Chain A
Amino acid sequence: MGAAEDEAVDEHARTGDPVAGDDVVALLMRQHGEIHTLFDEVRAAEGEARAEAFRRLVRLLAVHETAEEEVVHPHARTAFDGGGEVADDRLAEEKAAKEKLTALEDMDVSDPAFVPALLSLRNAVLVHARAEERYEFALLRRTTSPARLALMAKAVRAAEATAPTHPHPGVESAAANLAVGPVAAVMDRARDAIRRTMGGGDG
């Protein structure tokens, strides 16, 4: 198991227990909630506050989708019957969402077309997130050991740590927090962190 052994994993924790179970599904659902809330925040904000909230949203989306592409969908392919098709459907949704995101990235947040394009992206992301929860995550929890779910959670947390989406006062300045860099770089760093974590063991 390697890396997984570093972490105390309670094998008797009931799957889906939000307190006892430290599993990847609970973590990704938390990120789904945060993404949805960030969409609300971007929509409600104006001017520089909106631009700043949008940058945080883009970073979280980048980290989240990278983690799913690296950790969740490949595992789903072999974890349950039909997992390959389920993973393909999710990747197609992610691709469609990314196209909408690209269209938004070059737009000024005060452009009158921004909010309609944002709502269109939000719909694509929400539909994708619900589809994961209903058709993929539910089966992952049914078929995957708590130890494996915990290892996957560790990898997702490592990815999250490479691109903080909340300002961390005292740890880094707000300016440094914003200077995370372009989306491609965010994804690269997230991917490296995941591979380092998962590489430690493939239990």
Chain B
Amino acid sequence: MTFNPLEQRGIPLDRQVRSWRELDVAPIDPDATDPYTRCRVITMNGIEVEAILFSHQLARHTADPEIKRSLAEVRYVEAQQQKAVNWLLPGVSSVLETTIAYEQVAVDLTAWIARMEPDPYLRQAYEFGVLEDFDHLYRYANLYEMIEHRKAESIVDGLTEVMPGRPTRMHHRHPYDNVRDPYDRTRVDPLSKLHALTVMSAEQQTMNFYMNTGPTYMEPIARQLYQEIGLIEEEHVTHYESLVDPGETWWEQLVNHEYNECYLYYSFMEQESHPKVKALWELHLNMELEHLRIACDLMRRHDGREPEEVLAPQLPNVLTFEPNKAYLRELLATQIDLTTLGAGYVREAHERFEEMQRRLNDGERPPSDRVMDQHRQVFGRDYRLETEGPHPVASERA
């Protein structure tokens, strides 16, 4: 690939503010759109939310009012981008339908990144996490059939399988064991930095979404399941954010954020089938190129370093939404029983893990198990979508 964002010119910042008419995007059709278009929308929303939140944090650590103003100007555009992207989601979809789409993102985004990740320790972190969101998809799909009497295949459309992963009850680890070791910013492949930032942003958005929409449900089991999985998404944010080298300066982090936005908009523009959505990815790419140029200037000025020192010489291979069924089945067969101990992974439930489980469960079954009990009571079976044969783990077969 020859696309180098550092050598491209974008739209001048003073021409990036959009009118109400331009922000009033037409939502995608919930049934007649490629599910991966919706996945790209959800991913970019998470990326834009992180761009906004990171810029706020940076501003709070900045004394110079002129720098604060410069950050505010770019941030306002990021906020408009977030609106234009997230408002592509249709209002007729229920919260639970959007939730299932979020878990489809978590599964196919993380699985693809795990497949492409060059660093073995980082790859293990993604392989570990993806089996948990895979199980969330299964639990929410069963809640969906119970409450809305629809099958999750109408949302995931056979691109992603729905069946048990690592059981959700096993995700409640002691927080001490959720912190991984960071990569070394001076030695790691620049692609690994983009991967970590992307997955962290997606999980952070999922955490925010569940913690805010969960209480809008009336059904007790739905309220409880969102609480439980919302807590796990916080564990996932802890897990993924700890992969990032904390020695990166604020300006270096800003450059990484803007570079990653260029990478993702470019990737999604290349593969988008929906013409209007594709045009939006292209517009946003042209905005991000300018954000990146501004961030690079700030880094040169404040760190006295060239951004080229920390960035890849050209964009890596495009990040792609595609089925990862065989890969996920391989992970299910080999890693379903893993947990964490300190910064590493083990197969035995250790003392700290057991103690955490005792505290939380207090002699009862967690909501993620009760939702399955209730579903079986109503339907006499669980809901699953196994397109490639029976579950790879014999004990998890229906």
Please give the residue numbers on chain A whose beta carbons come within 8 Å of chain B beta carbons, in ascending order: 14-19, 26, 29-34, 36-37, 39-40, 43, 119, 122-123, 126-127, 130, 133, 138, 141
Is A29 in contact with B147, judged by CB distance below 8 angstroms?
Answer: yes
Q: How many residues of B contact A (CB 8 A)?
A: 21
- Pick the most buried of A18, A19, A32, A126: most chain B CB atoms within 10 A of its CB: A18
With a cutoff of 8 Å between Cβ atoms, the chain A residues found around residue B249 in the complex are none
What is the distance, in angstroms, from A33's C-beta to the closest C-beta of chain B? 3
> Are A18 and B378 also in contact (CB < 8 A) when A33-B148, A40-B31, A43-B31 are?
yes
Nearest CB in chain A: distance from B381 CB, A: 15
Are A33 and B220 in contact, CB atoms less than 8 angstroms apart?
A: no
Give chain A residues whose Cβ lies under 8 Å from the Cβ of B219. 16-18
Would A29 and B149 count as touching, CB distance under 8 A? yes
Additional pairs, 16, CB under 8 Å, beyond known A18-B219, A133-B94: A14-B220, A15-B218, A18-B146, A19-B374, A19-B378, A26-B147, A31-B149, A33-B148, A36-B154, A37-B150, A40-B31, A43-B31, A119-B32, A127-B92, A130-B91, A130-B94
Classify the secondary structure of A's interface with B. helix
Known contacts A37-B154, A130-B91; A19 and B149 CB within 8 A of each other: no
User: Of all chain B residues, which has the CB nearest A130?
Assistant: B92
B residues engaging A (CB < 8 A)? Answer: 29-32, 91-92, 94, 146-151, 154, 218-221, 374, 377-378
Contacts of B220 in A (CB 8 A): 14, 16-17
Q: Which residue of A lies closest to B219 (CB)?
A: A16
Q: Which residues of A contact B218 (CB under 8 A)?
A: 15-16, 138, 141
**Residues in A whose Cβ lies below 8 Å from that of B149:** 29-34, 37
Given the known interface contacts A29-B148, A30-B149, A33-B148, the answer about A126 and B92 at a Cβ–Cβ threshold of 8 Å is yes
Closest-by-CB residue of A relative to B145 is A33
Q: Which one of B31, B148, B149, B377 has the highest number of Cβ atoms from chain A below 10 Å of its Cβ?
A: B149
Closest to B154 in A: A40
Minimal beta-carbon separation of B94 from chain A (angstroms): 7
Most buried by A among B91, B218, B377, B378: B218
**A133 to B29 alpha-carbon distance, docked (Å):** 20
Q: Could you tell me the distance between the alpha carbons of A19 and B219 in the complex, rounded to whole angstroms?
A: 10
A14: which B residues are within 8 A, CB to CB? 220
- The 8 sampled A-B contact pairs (Cβ below 8 Å) are A18-B374, A32-B148, A32-B149, A126-B92, A127-B92, A130-B91, A138-B218, A141-B218
